[in-house]
């Protein structure tokens, strides 16, 4: 393992990471994967099947890193001491050797009580308290980089004109040009799988505090510091949209829900729980109106009813996000007066529980 780390042998590092992870040997697996994912593999033009194996490893890496970050007593855990190369100097005082990750992080946080020739000295209390703060930025930065790469990766978005006509006239088309004969049920399930894997990966950020400075760089979604989850909602909306489009493509060449086979998707059960939670978060968020909000509400409600049918009927009609559509432009004119909200008609149609759900859907489309 150390030879692979020293020579930066990526193939060996990945193979070792997988081997240790399969044996639940978290520390060596984490060390191998951390070196392997230092530069995220170039998945932009890879096939979905290959991407799914890389995302499976990255998901395993993120989960292990998160597990170590929140370990209850990192100071006195011998495995964590070995991984980060620190040890007790005297009672309740720890030495973080110069050049190690924790040494740099503690100096950056200005949390060291003193500096010696060998490194930084920290109290046990400070080490326990700040350990998470040292690892969370690593989790956050790695996932954000990977998330940005996935958003640009062709395999996540097939090019519709190419699938339908075998031609695409778009210059430098960012979408995947795939022949419709390749869109088999197996292909459909791999497409769903990579989306569910990415949703699980991104969900790791849920418990990681957001960097305030970084958030402010994204001025489009500038929010007061205490409202950082708003920023996550942007990406949650993005992946909910991608998942919905993948499960229910605009054209049958790309498959249908009838092709879905959760047995082929190892992560399906865990991911479905996350998607349900994301959908509830979206429906219960206070969002400003925007041109794509109706699409988001439709897709979210549709996913809720598909994945969480019984409970969804209880909560979707009370969703605060529907308040955005109380504006006059979303209300139907009835005998010269403002009548019902068209979005409520859409919800009645999607739920399909009352006897007028079909007329309600027709009114919404009108």
**To the nearest whole angstrom, how small is the minimum distance from the Cβ of residue 162 to Zn ion?**
5
Q: Of 95-103, 164-172, 205-213, 262-270, which segment contacts Zn ion by CB under 5 A?
A: 164-172
242, 254 Cβ separation under 8 angstroms: no
**Cβ nearer to Zn ion, comparing 127 with 254:** 254
**Residue with smaller CB distance to Zn ion, 122 or 178:** 178
**Contact criterion met (CB below 8 Å) for 160 and 253:** no
Least spacing, CB of residue 210 vs Zn ion, in Å: 34
Q: 65: how many CB neighbours lie within 10 A of its CB?
A: 22
- In whole angstroms, what is the distance from residue 303 CA to residue 282 CA? 12
The secondary structure of 102-151, three-state, reads HHHHHHHHCCCCEECCCEEEEEHHHHHHHHHHHHHHHHHHHHHHHHHHHH
Q: Please choose, out of 65-73, 76-84, 88-96, 175-183, the segment that lies near Zn ion by the rule CB under 5 A.
A: 175-183
- Using the minimum distance from each CB to Zn ion, give the nearer residue, 187 or 221: 187
Q: 44 and 153 in contact (C-beta within 8 Å)?
A: yes
Looking at 11-19, 120-128, 171-179, 332-340, which segment touches Zn ion (CB under 5 A)? 171-179
In the bound state with Zn ion, the residue whose beta carbon lies nearer, of 170 and 216, is: 170
Whether residue 232 contacts residue 206, with contact meaning beta carbons closer than 8 Å, is answered with: yes
Judged by CB under 5 A, the stretch of 69-77, 94-102, 132-140, 160-168 that binds Zn ion is 160-168
- Nearest residue (CB) to Zn ion, 161 versus 340: 161
Place of tokens 């949703």: 199
Residue 173 binds Zn ion, judged by CB under 5 A = yes
* 164 near Zn ion, rule: CB under 5 A: no
Q: How far apart are the first and last CA of the chain?
A: 64
Please state the closest distance from residue 151 (CB atom) to Zn ion, in A.
17
Q: Is 264 in the site for Zn ion (CB under 5 A)?
A: no
Q: How far is the CB of 254 from Zn ion (least distance, A)?
A: 14
Q: Identify which of residues 173 and 251 has a Cβ nearer to Zn ion in the complex.
A: 173
Q: Which of 93, 149, 168, 260 binds Zn ion (CB under 5 A)?
A: 168
If binding means CB under 5 A, how many residues of this protein chain bind Zn ion? 6
Residue 188 structure tokens: 């459909």
Provide the sign of the torsion angle of the four alpha carbons 117, 122, 128, 132, taken in this order. negative
Residue whose token pair is 């890193």? 65
- Residue 59, Cβ density class (10 Å: 0-12 exposed, 13-18 middle, ≥19 buried): buried
Q: What is the largest CA-CA distance in the chain?
A: 85
What is the smallest separation between the CB atom of 296 and Zn ion, expressed in angstroms? 25
The reply on whether position 307 binds Zn ion by CB under 5 A is: no
Q: Which is closer to Zn ion, CB of 176 or CB of 299? A: 176
Residue 159 binds to Zn ion (criterion: CB under 5 A): yes
Q: How far is the CB of 247 from Zn ion (least distance, A)?
A: 21
Q: Which stretch binds Zn ion (CB under 5 A): 107-115, 116-124, 146-154, 155-163?
A: 155-163
- How far apart CA 133 and CA 110 sit, in angstroms, is 12
What's the min distance (Å) between Cβ of 178 and Zn ion?
Answer: 10
Q: Which residues contact 225 (CB under 8 A, 6 or more apart)?
A: 212, 215
H/E stretch holding 343 reads helix 342-351
Structure tokens at 236: 């949650």
- The window from 87-95, 158-166, 305-313, 332-340 that contacts Zn ion (CB under 5 A) reads 158-166
The site for Zn ion (CB under 5 A) is made up of 159, 162, 168, 170, 173, 175
């Amino acid at each position: 393992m150390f030879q692979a780390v020293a020579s930066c042998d990526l193939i060996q590092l990945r193979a070792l990471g997988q081997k240790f992870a399969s044996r639940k040997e978290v520390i060596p697996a984490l060390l191998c994967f951390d070196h392997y994912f230092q530069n995220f593999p170039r998945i932009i033009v890879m096939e979905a099947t290959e991407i799914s194996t890389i995302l499976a490893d990255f998901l395993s890496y993120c989960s292990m890193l998160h597990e170590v970050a929140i370990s209850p007593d990192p100071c006195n855990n011998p495995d964590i001491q070995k991984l980060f190369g620190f040890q007790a100097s005297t009672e309740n005082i720890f030495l973080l050797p110069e050049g190690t990750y924790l040494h740099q992080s503690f100096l950056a946080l200005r949390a060291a009580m003193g500096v010696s020739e060998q490194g930084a000295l920290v109290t046990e209390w400070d080490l326990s308290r700040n350990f998470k703060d040292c690892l969370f930025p690593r989790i956050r930065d790695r996932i954000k980089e990977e998330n940005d790469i996935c958003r640009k990766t062709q395999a996540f978005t097939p090019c519709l004109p190419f699938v339908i006509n075998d031609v695409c006239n778009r210059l430098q088309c960012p979408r995947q040009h795939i022949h419709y004969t390749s869109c088999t049920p197996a292909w459909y399930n791999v497409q769903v799988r990579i989306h569910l894997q990415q949703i699980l990966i991104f969900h790791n950020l849920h418990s990681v505090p957001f960097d305030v400075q970084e958030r402010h760089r994204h001025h489009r979604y500038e929010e007061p510091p205490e409202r950082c989850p708003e920023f996550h909602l942007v990406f949650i909306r993005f992946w909910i949209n991608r998942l919905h489009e993948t499960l229910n493509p605009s054209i049958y060449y790309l498959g249908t829900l009838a092709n879905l086979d959760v047995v082929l998707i190892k992560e399906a059960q865990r991911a479905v729980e996350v998607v349900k939670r994301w959908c509830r978060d979206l429906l219960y968020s206070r969002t400003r109106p925007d041109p794509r909000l109706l699409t988001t509400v439709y897709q979210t409600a549709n996913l809720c009813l598909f994945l969480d049918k019984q409970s969804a009927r209880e909560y979707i009609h009370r969703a605060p996000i529907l308040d955005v559509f109380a504006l006059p432009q979303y209300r139907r004119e009835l005998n010269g007066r403002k009548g019902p909200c068209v979005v409520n008609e859409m919800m009645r149609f999607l739920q399909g529980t009352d006897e007028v759900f079909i007329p309600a859907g027709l009114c919404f489309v009108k």
